Amino acid sequence: MRPADVLPHRDPFLFVSEVVSVEPGRAASGRWHLTGDEQFFAGHFPGRPTLPGVLMLESLAQLGGIVVLADERFSGKLPLFGGVDRARFRRQVLPGETLELQVTVSRLSARGGSGHGHAHVGGKTACEADLLFVIVDRD
């Protein structure tokens, strides 16, 4: 499954390069391959490019969106960020690295849900957070 086949996001705001596995409505794993050519690296920070933490959270949220949208019950819907709790950033992510993403949905209803996301590079945690989302119509 290609992320763009499921998500409405497109470049330059698609932060999941590939989906490794998906269990609709429950969990997914994926990757974001950072080439170093992404525009944000030029300004964050000049001379020491680092992936912004907020974009790590967004990549986890996008993978969570794939979990929800892969469930046929949510066809034609759009999961939106409802909140982030207990976000922690533990490691810098640098140009050329691959961010390994994992999301597990713990609660899912017709109106929204919650889950936990974990991002790591080379087995070392870069970011983790509890994610809250609401589900709305796309129209």
Q: Which residues are catalytic?
A: 44
Backbone angles phi, psi at 67, to 5 degrees: -55, -45
Q: Which one, of 50, 51, 116, lies nearest residue 87 by Cα?
A: 116
Amino acid identity for residue 38 in this structure: E
Per residue in 95-124, is it b (16+ CB within 10 Å) or e — as a string? eebebbbbbbbeebeeebbbbbbbbbbeee
